[in-house]
Amino acid sequence: MNQQQTDNPFAKRIGKKRLEHWQKISLLLALYDMAAVAGAYFLALWFRFDARYSAIPADYYQSFVQFIPFYMAFCLVVFTIGRMYNSMWIFASFPELIRTAVVSGITSVAHSVAITAIFERMPVSYYILGAIMQFFLLVFIRFSYRFLQLFRHRREAQSRGAARVMVIGAGSAGQMILRDLAQAPEISDQAVCIIDDNPNKWNRYMDGVPIVGGRDDILTAVKKYRVDKIFLAIPSATAQQKRDILNICNETGCELKQLPGMYQFVLGQISVSAMKDVSVEDLLGREPIKADMSEVFDFINGKVVLVTGGGGSIGSELCRQIAAHHPKQLIIFDIYENNAYSIQLELREKYPELNFETLIGSVRDSRKMFEVFEKYRPQIVYHAAAHKHVPLMEDSPCEAIKNNAIGTYKTAYAAMVHGCDRFVLISTDKAVNPTNIMGASKRLCEMIIQSFDAKIKAGKASEIPQLFTHLGEENADRDGSGRVFENIHTQFVAVRFGNVLGSNGSVIPIFKKQIEAGGPVTVTHPDIIRYFMTIPEAVSLVMLAGTYARGGEIFVLDMGSPVKIDTLARNLIKLSGFKPDVDIKIEYTGLRPGEKLYEEKLMAEEGLQKTQNDMIHIGNPIAFDEAQFLSKLQNLMQAAYANKEDQIRDLVADAVPTYHPEGEHPVGRKDETYKALAGEAGARG
């Protein structure tokens, strides 16, 4: 078509009136239906008289010939109203079968009544056989195309050497997966067997695929049917049940996929494309933590919230969840501009109406922190900014103290004198009986917020020294009147938890890179164990714990059962399609400086108090002399900024009685706690 024709409005109107392909098919289908309904009742009359045309009585034949044109027109109207020409019959299933039965039944009843009342009472067999054959002919043409496509798809899959699939779960979800495998032209995989734990289903077939046994038969069936992929299609299974099944599947070396969950099943979104890869988190076998966030909504809604370290793994998730709870304003504060920019773009796209600011700066800069609090007046602060890498902090202990301890102190002080309502410190289980400088620095952070809280409750906020002021430029009490310390009401709390899956520096991304490089995968010790939680779970509980605060608490999150890092590494290797110690070697490198075999969630001196949430507990704080501690902290800060690495560990040990940098690692010692934890983790592995 040339440009002139394209610009012609008349040509455009003609183009719009052209029938679509499906409309042409519908016209042909309507013509077939008219022939089918007429042919069905003619055959019924013909069969009634021994299949001899000459034997049909003239009055019966005349009645049929005179009535059938009206019946054909009536059927066309009913079929159109019944949407018999709008369905995609290539995907025809039970609903289409029911619809065909209904419209065929309606027209057959109308046929019987009308021909009897207007023309002639026909033989009974005419009514019955005519209705049956009409339904059969209508169904045949509509479902034959689907069956032809199914047959061709299977032939093509076999000729291409398609992947052979085992489906686990002979329920509704499994049936949907089987149908999608059989029908979708873009999928070349072929289901060859089904596994289900219900013995009543064994040795039977579902959509032509044999149900060969329960989970104990997985390994045998994989070899017998030469399975390449395994699809877990049990959306209602618990995390524990999934873990048990997936751990068996993980031994096969097959590619593993599973359904996302019940949500997709309820919405009818079950398909092969909706299935996701099995992750190492799925093999941990812990039920996902589901927190009631209604209290958080009331707490966050309409308030100005500041997140320090807002671009990090924990900080960015805090920003996401806070954004979803309609704050008045969200302030994202981070020193690393790339991370801050990334979360800025994400929130701008997902929450276009969100009022938020992204600021670059360091929590170690008192003047910057005063400027931020003075300008934005945050009511809630989540302090996630920190150096977290244990080995790096062992090499740079002064930086750990500057950023973690002193940065927390300066941020907390700025929050206190600017009317902040709630200050929530993100702590770690490494702060418990620390053997490394990172853990000790986080314990210092906990002691800082406990000291602030104690002084505020005693009405002695003015006695909290303002560390490292710069020529008085950000001095809180500039006029010397002390009025700034009146009506101090900030509540300081800490939330302590263990490792989070997928965070920056987590073992899983490290293991994945090592596997991609062909190994070896390095594990520090075969018996090392850790507590794990996903980032969204941890952040939800952090926010919920923040709503429970009364000041001075150290909230402890229930991390569930511990996990062996060695088991985690081996599972990840298997999920990547390799065999541990065969395709990918595992090397044990020994514990790093300051590293423990296991992390504790509480110190021996602390006890637990319950909260209204079973996943959140309160550790009773260890008593210490706040004034003496604050004095030691000032000396510690001066040594850190002077970069006196030869003195810093001794000063930290003096300020944190539970810090033992030269203490004995739990390797080889008869520690009942460790033995119990290792036994539990080993049982899970």
Write the pLDDT tens digit of every residue in 361-378: 999 998 999 999 999 999
Question: In this predicted model, what pLDDT tens digit does every residue of 255-277 receive, in sequence order?
Answer: 888 876 443 343 444 556 556 66
b vs e for 539-553, b when ≥16 Cβ sit within 10 Å of the residue's Cβ?
Answer: bbbbbbbbbbbebbb
Length of the chain: 685
pLDDT at 151: 63
pLDDT beyond 90 at 425: yes
Question: In this predicted model, what pLDDT tens digit does every residue of 283-329 receive, in sequence order?
Answer: 665 556 666 677 888 889 999 999 999 999 889 999 998 998 899 99
> By three-state DSSP, how is residue 525 classified?
coil
Question: Is 565 exposed, middle or buried, given 0-12, 13-18 or 19+ CB atoms closer than 10 A?
Answer: buried
What is the spatial distance between Cα 627 and Cα 454, in angstroms, rounded to a whole number?
A: 10
545, 555 contact by CB (below 8 A): yes
Averaged pLDDT for residues 489-516: 79
What is the spatial distance between Cα 429 and Cα 206, in angstroms, rounded to a whole number?
A: 50
DSSP 389-428: -HHHHHH-HHHHIIIIIIHHHHHHHHHHHTT-SEEEEEEE
Closest CA to 192 of 174, 162, 166: 166
Closest CA to 379 of 416, 353, 340: 416
Closest CA to 218 of 186, 187, 238, 245: 245
Q: Which domains does the chain have, with CATH numbers?
A: 20-151 (no CATH), 161-278 (3.40.50.720), 294-474+486-501+532-559+600-661 (3.40.50.720)
Averaged pLDDT for residues 591-612: 65
pLDDT beyond 90 at 684: no
Backbone angles phi, psi at 427, to 5 degrees: -110, -165
Q: What is the mean pLDDT of the chain?
A: 80
What is the spatial distance between Cα 275 and Cα 28, in angstroms, rounded to a whole number?
A: 38
pLDDT beyond 60 at 157: no
* Residues contacting 483, CB < 8 A, separation 6+: none
Q: To which residue do tokens 């096969």 refer?
A: 252
DSSP 585-627: -EEE--PPTT--SS--SS-TT--EEE-SSTTEEEEPPPP--HH
DSSP 50-106: TT-GGGS-HHHHHHHHHHHHHHHHHHHHHHHHTTTTSS-GGG--HHHHHHHHHHHHH
pLDDT at 513: 86
pLDDT at 238: 76
Lowest mean pLDDT among 93-102, 117-126, 470-479, 663-672: 663-672
Local confidence band at 667 (pLDDT 50, 70, 90 cut-offs): very low
Averaged pLDDT for residues 544-557: 80
Averaged pLDDT for residues 464-475: 69
pLDDT at 603: 53
pLDDT at 582: 83
pLDDT at 100: 85
pLDDT beyond 70 at 75: yes
pLDDT beyond 90 at 549: no
Local confidence band at 665 (pLDDT 50, 70, 90 cut-offs): very low
* Residues contacting 286, CB < 8 A, separation 6+: 239, 560, 561
Averaged pLDDT for residues 17-28: 73
* Residue 270 tokens, joined: 């079950």
Averaged pLDDT for residues 188-217: 88
Backbone angles phi, psi at 559, to 5 degrees: -90, 5
Q: What percent of the chain has pLDDT over 90?
A: 28
Local confidence band at 612 (pLDDT 50, 70, 90 cut-offs): confident
Which contiguous run of DSSP H or E holds residue 330? Answer: strand 329-334
Averaged pLDDT for residues 386-412: 93
Local confidence band at 620 (pLDDT 50, 70, 90 cut-offs): confident
Backbone angles phi, psi at 638, to 5 degrees: -65, -40
Which carries the bigger pLDDT value, residue 613 or residue 378? 378
pLDDT beyond 90 at 401: yes
Question: Is 591 exposed, middle or buried, given 0-12, 13-18 or 19+ CB atoms closer than 10 A?
Answer: middle
Local confidence band at 480 (pLDDT 50, 70, 90 cut-offs): confident
pLDDT at 466: 87
Separation of first and last alpha carbons in the chain? 68
pLDDT beyond 90 at 444: yes
Which carries the bigger pLDDT value, residue 416 or residue 14? 416
User: What does pTM read for this prediction?
Assistant: 0.63
Tell me which range, 85-94, 488-497, 536-545, is most confidently predicted by mean pLDDT. Answer: 488-497
Averaged pLDDT for residues 398-425: 94
| Amino acid identity for residue 284 in this structure | L
Backbone angles phi, psi at 267, to 5 degrees: -80, 0
b vs e for 450-468, b when ≥16 Cβ sit within 10 Å of the residue's Cβ?
Answer: bbbbbbbeeeebeebebbb
Local confidence band at 397 (pLDDT 50, 70, 90 cut-offs): very high
Local confidence band at 669 (pLDDT 50, 70, 90 cut-offs): very low
Local confidence band at 421 (pLDDT 50, 70, 90 cut-offs): very high
